[in-house]
Amino acid sequence: MIHSLTLSDVLSEHARSRPKVTAVVDGSLRLTYSELDARVSRLAGALAARGVGEGERVLWLGQNSHAVLELLLACSRLGALFCPANWRQSTDELRFVVEDLSPRVVVWERFEAAAPLATDAWVDDHAALVEEGRPSDLPPVDDGAPVLALYTAAFEGRPNAAMLSSAALLAHSMSLLVVRQMEPDFTFLNNGPLFHVGTMMFCLATLQIGGTNVFTPSFDAEEVCRLVDAEKVTQAFLFGQMIDAVAAANAERKYDLSSLRFVSHSAEWDEMTTPDDSPWCRSKMGGYGQTEVGGMLTFLGLAPGAAGFAGRPSPLVQVRILAPDGSEVAQGEVGEICARGKTLFSGYFARPELNALKSRYGWHHTGDLGRREQDGTITFIGPKLRMIKSGNENVYPAEVERALRSHPAVADAAVIGVPDERWHQAVKAVVALKGEASVEELVEHVRGQLAAYKRPRHVDFVESIPKKGFAPDYDALDLAHGGGNYPGA
């Protein structure tokens, strides 16, 4: 066990190395690392007494709370798997999660949609659970054991719980510590949902460097202002309109937000906050990622001035752009973004066939399309929802859609495959215009950017593209515009 390090081991070290440092703030509750460690020991004892052992699942049904971090750490101590459920889901969606995960313990709170599902075995008071537990000697847990399960939004079919081990989570935290240049005085405001990797990854990196995690149930602009001011928050989970809302809530400068170190956004925002000059924010924030790689796979901050707009891979992963047969595509060609490395997930819970498919050829297949640019940096093209097979060539709709959308007259576009006698399938573009453009002009525009066989042979104009979530509704499009003959269908 000399090389193993679990999330719980990190907490045990912090309890010794920084016993008096504030680990958690949640409403009136403030916990030092020493206190958090003691509570997690008791919580692990309480869960163990309820039958939670190695491989068992614990489900949290509630908004953001210190309970999420405590339950995760307790599960790490037990070798169990913790899942914070999406509290925005309907009762039916929650029923699916409860049945899919078959948790040994469900802890729930402030969660109306869950009420119809609750049984006597469900625990509705996290604090009481912590109180009732007695710490006990537990066998050591290997850091390769899955500890966190996050349901990922499926574009089609049922959602799947991506399982992440302590080893993967700690490796991912290291990559964030490097790129965001986080230091021990980092204070993170958990205002984004902890059932998504975007907030969770900063929560865990803050834990790992021994900083302070501040929890708030969900996003509230005024409350964000109050907490940033009171706790001297370094970073919060804020984007676009959320930033505007926070700036508006502080229009009268009631709160001091200068502890926030952030990317430039608006003149007003920049005046309230302090610029973050770490690679994470220095030019453009972010990169490419997904839950299955622990969060971020590539970082813009590792590729200043890059050609590819997703940047370069984290120092702990390898990326390959692969063709459907598992071979690496040439530089500049589009293929599926595949990955290996220390931050990768351990498969989906109870999905052996999907796991085998996603890890074929020894690489995790992200389901997203990308390209290596000439400088080696990576461009994310779009989700590989389906593939068109035209004259033995693979055509990915997302790539052609991207080319079409780059035309100034195109408001939106979707690409389908239609049966073709000679080519088996032919590419058809469904286009919503915002200006004037002929079919010939659009086809030439695509030809100028992509291989000739990828150009649309048919173009239909529509008022708007039907959507399913953020993506085009391909089933509706196929039905309305004659799609068919897809490979494997």
Is 487 among the residues that bind a second copy (CB under 8 A)? no
Please report whether residue 184 would count as binding a second copy according to CB under 8 A: yes
Please report, in angstroms and rounded to a whole number, the separation of the first and last CA atoms in the chain: 48
Please list the alpha-helical segments (H only) found in 250-309: 267-272, 279-282
Closest to a second copy by CB, 377 or 390: 377
The yes or no reply on residue 363 touching a second copy (CB under 8 A) is yes
d(CA 432, CA 410) in angstroms, rounded, equals 6
Check: CB of residue 52 under 8 Å from CB of residue 68. no
Name residue, tokens 């309480």: 46
Asked if 145 interacts with a second copy (CB under 8 A), we say no
- Check binding of 142 to a second copy (CB under 8 A): no
Among 218, 266, 318, 438, binds a second copy (CB under 8 A): 318
- Among 371, 372, 445, 455, the residue binding a second copy under the rule CB under 8 A is 372
- 312 lies in the site for a second copy, by CB under 8 A: yes
The least distance separating a second copy from the CB of residue 15, rounded to whole angstroms, comes to 8
**Least CB distance to a second copy at residue 302 (A):** 6
> What amino acid is encoded at 66 in this protein?
H
- Shortest gap between Cβ of 327 and a second copy (angstroms)? 14
447 in contact with a second copy (CB under 8 A): no
Interface stretch with a second copy, choices 5-13, 247-255, 267-275, 438-446 (CB under 8 A): 5-13
The reply on whether position 364 binds a second copy by CB under 8 A is: yes
The residue type of 343 is: T
Site string for a second copy, 253-292 (x = CB under 8 A): --------------------------x-------------
Rounded Cα gap, residues 59 and 46, in angstroms: 15
Specify the stretch interacting with a second copy by CB under 8 A; choose among 100-108, 168-176, 230-238, 448-456: 168-176
Both tokens of 36, joined, read 């958090």
CA angle, 238 then 23 then 58, to 5°: 80
| Binding test (CB under 8 A) with a second copy, winner from 75, 319, 418, 426 | 319
State which of residues 5, 118, 433, 462 lies at the interface with a second copy (CB under 8 A).
5
Nearer to a second copy, 294 or 397 (CB): 294
Q: Is the dihedral of CA 450, 452, 454, 458 positive or negative?
A: positive
Measured CA to CA in angstroms, residue 423 lies from 5, 286, 435, 456, 483 at distances of 55, 40, 32, 13, 14
DSSP tag of 362: G
CA dihedral 449, 453, 454, 455 (to 10 degrees): 70
Nearer to a second copy, 171 or 236 (CB): 171
Amino acid at 312: R
Q: Which residues pair with 434 in a beta bridge?
A: none
Contact between 307 and a second copy by CB under 8 A: the answer reads no
CA distance 218 to 192: 6
- Please tell me the distance from the alpha carbon of residue 27 to that of residue 36, in angstroms, as a whole number: 15
Q: Which stretch binds a second copy (CB under 8 A): 145-153, 181-189, 247-255, 410-418?
A: 181-189
Amino acid at 431: V
Work out whether 2 is an interface residue with a second copy (CB under 8 A).
yes
Which of 65, 208 has the CB closer to a second copy?
A: 208
Residues of span 323-352 touching a second copy by CB under 8 A:
340-342, 344
Between 62 and 308, CB nearer to a second copy: 308
| Residue 181 lies near a second copy (rule: CB under 8 A) | yes
DSSP 98-129: HHHH--SEEEE-S-GGGGGG--TT-B--HHHH
Beta carbons of 98 and 115 less than 8 angstroms apart: no
- Check if the beta carbon of residue 456 is closer than 8 Å to that of residue 442: yes
**Measured between alpha carbons, how far is 168 from 293 in angstroms, rounded to an integer?**
8
**Angle in degrees, 0-180, between the axes of helices 197-208 and 166-180, rounded to the nearest 10:** 80
CA atoms within a 13 Å half-sphere pointing along the CA-CB vector of 432: 11
In whole angstroms, the minimum distance from the beta carbon of 464 to a second copy comes to 39
Window 9 to 48, contacts with a second copy (CB under 8 A) = 9-10, 12-13, 16-20
Determine, following the binding rule CB under 8 A, whether residue 246 of this chain makes contact with a second copy: no
Figure out which of the listed residues 27, 53, 144, 469 binds a second copy, where binding follows CB under 8 A: 144
Q: Is 209 in the site for a second copy (CB under 8 A)?
A: yes
Whole-angstrom distance, CA of residue 289 vs CA of residue 292? 8
Residue of 289, 313, 370, 472 interacting with a second copy (CB under 8 A):
313
Question: Residues in contact with a second copy, total (CB under 8 A)?
Answer: 57
Among 41, 191, 208, 216, binds a second copy (CB under 8 A): 208
CA angle 61, 62, 65 (to 5 degrees): 130
Residues that bind a second copy (CB under 8 A): 1-5, 9-10, 12-13, 16-20, 140, 144, 167-168, 170-171, 173-175, 177-178, 181-184, 208-210, 279, 302-304, 312-313, 315-320, 340-342, 344, 359, 362-364, 372, 375-378
